[in-house]
Amino acid sequence: MDKKSHPYIPTLLGQLNEGAISRRDFLRRSTLLGMSATAAYAMAGMVDPSTSAKAENLPKGGNLRIGMRCMEIKDPHLADFAEKSNVVRQVCEYLTITDRNNITHPYLLEKWDVSDDLKTWTLHIRKDVKWRKGRSLTADDVIWNLKRVCDPKVGSSMLGLFTGYLVEEFATGEKDDKGNPKKSSRLWSEKAIEKVDDHTVRLNTSSPQIAVAEHLFHYPMFILDPEENGSFGAGANGTGPFEIVEYTVGKGAKYKARTDYWGDGPYVDTFEFVDLGDSPGAGIAAMASKQVDGLSEADAVQINSMKSFPHVAVYKVETTQTIVARMHPDVDQFKDKRVRQAMRHAIDRDKVIQTVLLGAGTPAEDHHVAPSHPEYAALPKYGRDIDKAKKLLADAGFPDGFEYDMVTRPDPIWELNTAQALAEQFKDIGIKVNIKSLPSAQYWEVWTDAPFSLTAWGHRPLAIMTLGLAYRSNAAWNESHFSNAEFDTLLTQAEGILDPKERSKVMAKIETIMQDEGPIVQPFWRIFSTVMDKKVKGFDLHPSQYIFAHNYAVAMA
Amino acid sequence: MAIFLAKRFTMMLLTMIAASFLVFAVCEFTPGSVARKSLGPFATQEVDLLTRKLKANDPLLVRYGRWAGVLLGVIPDPLQDPDTGLNFKDSRGAQYFGNFGYSTLNKLPVNDVIWDRLGNTAILGGLAFLLIVPLSIIFGIFSGLKEGGVLDRVLSIVSITFTSIPEFASGVFLVTLFVILWPVLPGTSPLDTGSGWSIPSQLVLPVAVLVIYDFGYVARMIRVSMIGVMEKPYIRTAVLKGMTTRQVVLGHALRNAMIAPFTVLLLQINFLISGVVVTELVFAYPGFGRLLLDASLFGDIATIEAATLITVAIAVVTQFIGDIGYMLLDPRIRLR
């Protein structure tokens, strides 16, 4: 065994041999600790799919067009939808990459090392990476990016992920309009992000954290050129495989392949995103007439109408992608936790899955931790219970229910359909939900501020990531305005526990808090699907909805 | 003649001013202030600050004056003042004639967005108009020649059927037919050639949808007018004199039969510019209708105001042309 590997690896290997953990769990955890995926696969007695299926014989050249909404990109570090990050991703890159099997590999990093106490992370940056404009990638570039996302003025969602181990909250001493002390965030120490040499960066964390490598793949965590200071558009610099030559909101993006890219690919000469608007029929029509070679996403209904096209291949992947109806606890109607509980008891999950997803999903349990997450703890199941829900509502002071507006968006269509299915079921306990469907562009501007809305959440390999992003008190993406000190403490605690069995014990407490007083109604986990023309080679559907155009090739007719 | 034109021209200007005031007032009276709409519906403290900076609490007339001033290039656009912190930039500067302000939806000056879109819709509408005019005239004349005849019945059924199919239905129908079952045409019309489909091929289906929807209606108008004319004594005289049907129609009936439908035809221009929303949505066509729809849903006031003003201008100009045409067709009007 590699002498330098983390001391916990033998324990993991023991657990694997005893059958206490699955091979997939072993792979996931040993790679998190800095072991290379190839070595981990070998140790688990498996063949690394990324080396065996490496497509050296992919055809070269040609143009690839993928249909996707193209929205305004203010700053890549603020990217808050997979679509936005897909536009940037072809140009700028991450330090790590989590593959479709949820195994994390180095990307712009050569490797990383973790100390025994999980508090010192040493990141070794590849030495062969060059910016498109000629310079080499250095530790200074990486540090600038890491520090920038930790700056509360920038407002990146990375802040929520980094809080608790790299970033701490402090009282500024000022008071806001209501007289509450204002809080802000800062790095917990001068040495939190430390330069070791030109190609090595060290993260010194205040508490143990296991998910550092996965956090570095969260979609705003692009490594940008410090000289461009967060701006992005045609001609933007990057270390990635493509140069972006054109970007028009609502129309599309055009890219040209780099010839001096450090990694594999790109195989195509040019790549394009085409914006097909909010009408789901337009995607079908564009696929039918081969105006695009694929869509970034196609829902069950669209797939149904496209599966008869001979040139179309359907891709599906199970994800921890979901949708939550979340309520601001600072609004009168939702202030009492019994109201929120009643909303949870009002839902018939199987029915929602059948109507909205045509069955392509599994029921969720309102705590945003998926059964496929390694730290999932099974709590007692509960189903629809109208009488209990009505009683809870009455106890909370709404015996006749109430009426409220729910903000949502029409594209993708399954989101609006979910809103309608939920509204129909809330009606049975006397809550009349008026659906306010905003155009996507407008929805994206208000999604963290609307008092009651329905938001789709992307796939994350670890539950602690989503919880840190969405429900930690200071998180930029805390759209539900949920704030619970006990929850925050437990979450920080969970983030430091390597053993998923131990972590799931803490997780059970977190899940219970979410079910008891949490802000969300969560109907299902979604199976993600899309379509590609059969001539597109090397395509692999990533559960995070990420598009990596440099891996794809086009077979010439 | 000159007096008639001058009168008409003054009327046109007055209509524009009245319409611009109405558009402004209606947009201003919709819930939420300009500051709120610039910052998004749920921004908090900044709204009051910006409201003060933009003097958005002034009386309506003062604000209208300021808006018109910006539009005419008399004063600079207050939204572009760096003090507002909105970071709105216009390469033409903050003060020029035709300054429609800043689109909060596209994060660009309205002038950078709207003209391309209008041009695209003009192409779509223009082509449709070129087909609607002869088609509806031919249909109208032939079915109006002999009311209740077999030809009239057949043409009437065709016109009525086509006109009653909504655009989204005919759009889906045509896509199924010519894109999926018999793939000879592209299913969307983003107006770029990257997919290998030529621009003309991308225009066929949206134009067809518009023509199918619209021509039957105009044909019905022409038919009624034609029937009316064909019953007139002078037509009977012409027929009794032994003139051929062709001579009667072209020489005597057509000119009179076209007077009323002429206005209807010109009205179609307005419809083709602002009523193409559905067609543009179905075919992902980057046109004026979709821009107006997005802007209205988004609450992008500057774009709505600009688009509405342009629509009004087009309506007023077509009306002006209509008046002149009317005058040429009907000499009695010139004497009024």
- What is the model's pLDDT at position B82? 65
- What is the model's pLDDT at position B54? 61
Spatial neighbors of B23 by CB under 8 A, at least 6 apart, are B304, B305, B308, B309, B312
Give the closest-approach CA distance of B277 to chain A in angstroms. Answer: 12
Average pLDDT rounded to a whole number, residues A359-376: 89
* pLDDT tens per residue, range A326-354: 999 888 889 898 999 999 999 999 999 99
Average pLDDT rounded to a whole number, residues B255-269: 85
- What is the model's pLDDT at position B168? 85
Rounded to 5°, the CA angle A228-A234-A237 comes to 40
Q: Judge if pTM exceeds 0.90.
A: no
- What is the model's pLDDT at position A340? 92
DSSP-derived letter for residue A551 is G
The confidence band for A27, taking pLDDT boundaries of 50, 70 and 90, is: confident
Give the closest-approach CA distance of B188 to chain A in angstroms. Answer: 6
- What is the model's pLDDT at position B45? 47
pLDDT exceeding 70 applies to what percent of chain B? 86
**Residue of A49 and A315 predicted with greater confidence:** A315
Least confident of A81-85, A175-179, A200-204, A277-281: A175-179
- What is the model's pLDDT at position A178? 61
Spatial neighbors of A382 by CB under 8 A, at least 6 apart, are A345
* pLDDT exceeds 80 at position B242: yes
Give the closest-approach CA distance of B119 to chain A in angstroms. Answer: 16
B281 contacts A277? CB cut-off 8 A = yes
ipTM of the complex: 0.74
The confidence band for B149, taking pLDDT boundaries of 50, 70 and 90, is: confident
- What is the model's pLDDT at position B40? 46
Taking a contact as any Cβ pair under 8 Å apart, which residues of chain A between 243 and 302 contact chain B?
249-252, 272, 274-279, 281-282, 284-292
Structure tokens at A289: 């007439």
- What is the model's pLDDT at position B46? 52
The confidence band for A200, taking pLDDT boundaries of 50, 70 and 90, is: very high
Q: What is the DSSP track for A33-46?
A: TT--HHHHHHHTT-
Spatial neighbors of A538 by CB under 8 A, at least 6 apart, are A55, A58, A267, A551, A552, A553
Residue of B nearest to A309 (CA): B180
Residue of B nearest to A65 (CA): B195
**Residue of B235 and B332 predicted with greater confidence:** B235
The count of other CB atoms within 10 Å of the CB of residue B210 is 27
DSSP-derived letter for residue A535 is T
* pLDDT tens per residue, range A261-283: 988 879 999 999 998 887 778 88
Enumerate the residues of chain B whose CB falls inside 8 A of the CB of residue A72. Answer: 107
Give the closest-approach CA distance of B183 to chain A in angstroms. Answer: 7
Q: Which residue in this structure is represented by tokens 């009317």?
A: B326
- What is the separation, in whole angstroms, between the first and last Cα of chain B? 10
- What is the model's pLDDT at position B81? 67
pLDDT exceeding 90 applies to what percent of chain B? 13
* pLDDT exceeds 80 at position A51: no
Instruction: Determine contact: B2 vs chain A, CB below 8 A.
Output: no
Average pLDDT rounded to a whole number, residues A141-161: 86
The confidence band for A427, taking pLDDT boundaries of 50, 70 and 90, is: very high
Q: Which of B188, B294, B297 lies at the smallest CB-CB distance from A291?
A: B188
Instruction: Determine contact: B178 vs chain A, CB below 8 A.
Output: no
Residue B93 CA, chain-centre distance (Å), reads: 30
B283 contacts A286? CB cut-off 8 A = no
Q: Which residue in this structure is represented by tokens 């996403």?
A: A297
* pLDDT exceeds 90 at position A450: no
B286 contacts A250? CB cut-off 8 A = yes
Dist. CA B171–CA A282, nearest whole Å: 11
Phi–psi pair at B294, nearest 5 degrees = -60, -45
B106 contacts A250? CB cut-off 8 A = yes
Strand-pair category, A200-204 with A242-248: unpaired
* A48: Cα within 13 Å, side-chain hemisphere: 18
* pLDDT tens per residue, range B284-314: 888 898 888 878 776 778 888 898 888 888 8
Dist. CA A333–CA B28, nearest whole Å: 31
- What is the model's pLDDT at position A237? 92
The mean pLDDT of chain A is: 86
Q: Of B104, B187, B175, B125, whose CA–CA distance to A274 is shortest?
A: B187
- What is the model's pLDDT at position A54? 52
Dist. CA A142–CA A224, nearest whole Å: 8
* pLDDT tens per residue, range A77-132: 988 788 899 999 999 999 999 888 788 888 999 888 888 888 899 999 999 999 99
Dist. CA B35–CA B41, nearest whole Å: 10
Average pLDDT rounded to a whole number, residues A398-423: 87
The count of other CB atoms within 10 Å of the CB of residue A443 is 22
The mean pLDDT of chain B is: 82
- What is the model's pLDDT at position A8? 75
- What is the model's pLDDT at position B44? 44
* Measured CA distances, A470 to A391, B93, B325 (Å): 30, 42, 65
A281 contacts B175? CB cut-off 8 A = yes
* pLDDT exceeds 80 at position A439: no
Instruction: Determine contact: A65 vs chain B, CB below 8 A.
Output: yes
Cβ atoms of A75 and A154 closer than 8 Å: yes
Dist. CA B219–CA B138, nearest whole Å: 8
Q: Of A81, A91, A73, A449, whose CA–CA distance to B107 is shortest?
A: A73
- What is the model's pLDDT at position A241? 94
Average pLDDT rounded to a whole number, residues B179-201: 85
Q: In this structure, which amino acid lies at residue A152?
A: P
* Residue of A291, A308, A455 best to disrupt the B interface, most CBs of B under 10 A: A291
B284 contacts A177? CB cut-off 8 A = no
Q: Which of A72, A286, A445 lies at the smallest CB-CB distance from B188?
A: A286
Average pLDDT rounded to a whole number, residues B4-11: 84
B188 contacts A289? CB cut-off 8 A = yes
Cα dihedral A499→A501→A503→A509 (10° resolution): -170
* pLDDT tens per residue, range A502-545: 888 999 999 999 999 999 999 999 988 899 999 998 888 888 88
* pLDDT tens per residue, range A285-305: 999 888 999 999 888 888 888
* pLDDT tens per residue, range B22-47: 888 887 765 545 554 554 444 444 55
User: Across the beta sheet with A193-197, what order do the strands follow?
Assistant: A109-114, A120-125, A200-204, A193-197
* pLDDT tens per residue, range B58-70: 777 888 888 888 8
Instruction: Determine contact: B275 vs chain A, CB below 8 A.
Output: no
* Residue of B195, B204, B205, B304 best to disrupt the A interface, most CBs of A under 10 A: B195
Residue of A nearest to B290 (CA): A277
B106 contacts A282? CB cut-off 8 A = no
* pLDDT exceeds 70 at position A2: no
